[in-house]
Amino acid sequence: MNQPGTSTSLFTRLRFVLVETSHPGNIGAVARAMKTMGFSQLVLVNPRFPDARQQEEAIAFASGALDVLGAARIVGSIDEALDGCNFAAALSARLREYSPPVLTPRALAAQLAAGDSLQAALVFGSERYGLPNEIIERCNALINIPSNPDYSSLNLAQAAQVLAYEARLASVGDSVPSTPIGFQGQAASLTQIDGMYTHLEQALVAIDFLDPANPKKLMPRLRRLFSRTQLETEEVNILRGIARQVLLKLGR
């Protein structure tokens, strides 16, 4: 194999290799699985249809990943597919007597993410026959996805999605996006919140839900409840508006 390049990002170091894929829809679905996780290098080894990238089913299943599908390389041998790689991992649900070390997707992903010099390939077999022993034996690792032992068969695209997800997780971590999603209002001040509680207490007394002579722990519990919500100014105004309308209806 050739010497690896200088790029250190796993998103540019990792390629997905599909060997003798029968169904164009699976090729499109793998392209989509890759793109959702940020990967783009797709290599097809002797697909059943030479024009697999243009097949209607492949295009339909690729959905928004037509760029990954269209850029997929079609080669005639596993040697061509692995050219430039210094690490290859074969995926198989069936363990072999003579195979490289067996790793889970998570363990493999951690190894790939930590090895900046690894130009790696994930190798997937055909839907019907999987990978032949000669391809598995030349790989550095055999990947086995932990699954239900009574039904361990994953669709090709599902398996690719699991590997792509684990590789992304190992690269960027599992923290949520730092940029807030959706509407973010201004946090209510303590004065605004105290005013809301006063208003709300008046309404609860007016409808006889709260007995001021025997309040028990109602208001402290309501304060505890709302303190977990990080109230915004608009939300405080809504609650005060409800209390105001209650008091108006009762002529208070």
Mean pLDDT, the chain, integer: 89
pLDDT of residue 5 exceeding 60: no
Q: What are the tens digits of pLDDT across the range 167-225?
A: 999 999 877 666 555 667 888 898 999 999 999 999 899 999 988 888 888 999 998 99
Does the pTM of the predicted model rise above 0.75?
A: no
H or E segment to which residue 91 belongs: strand 87-91
Residue 2 banded pLDDT, cuts 50, 70, 90: very low
Q: Which has the closest alpha carbon to 2: 95, 102, 112, 117?
A: 117
The interaxial angle of helices 233-249 and 190-206, nearest 10 deg, is 20
pLDDT of residue 160 exceeding 80: yes
The encoded tokens of residue 91 equal 């995926």
The encoded tokens of residue 247 equal 């008091």
The vertex-47 CA angle with 44 and 49, nearest 5°, equals 130
Higher pLDDT, 98 or 218: 218
Higher pLDDT, 92 or 163: 163
Question: Which pLDDT does position 180 carry in this prediction?
Answer: 56
Please report the domains of the chain, with CATH numbers, ordered by start residue.
10-172 (3.40.1280.10), 190-249 (1.10.8.590)
Residue 4 banded pLDDT, cuts 50, 70, 90: very low
Average pLDDT over residues 45-53: 94
pLDDT of residue 117 exceeding 70: yes
Q: Which has the closest alpha carbon to 164: 67, 68, 246?
A: 68
Q: What are the tens digits of pLDDT across the range 53-87?
A: 999 999 999 999 999 999 999 999 999 999 999 99
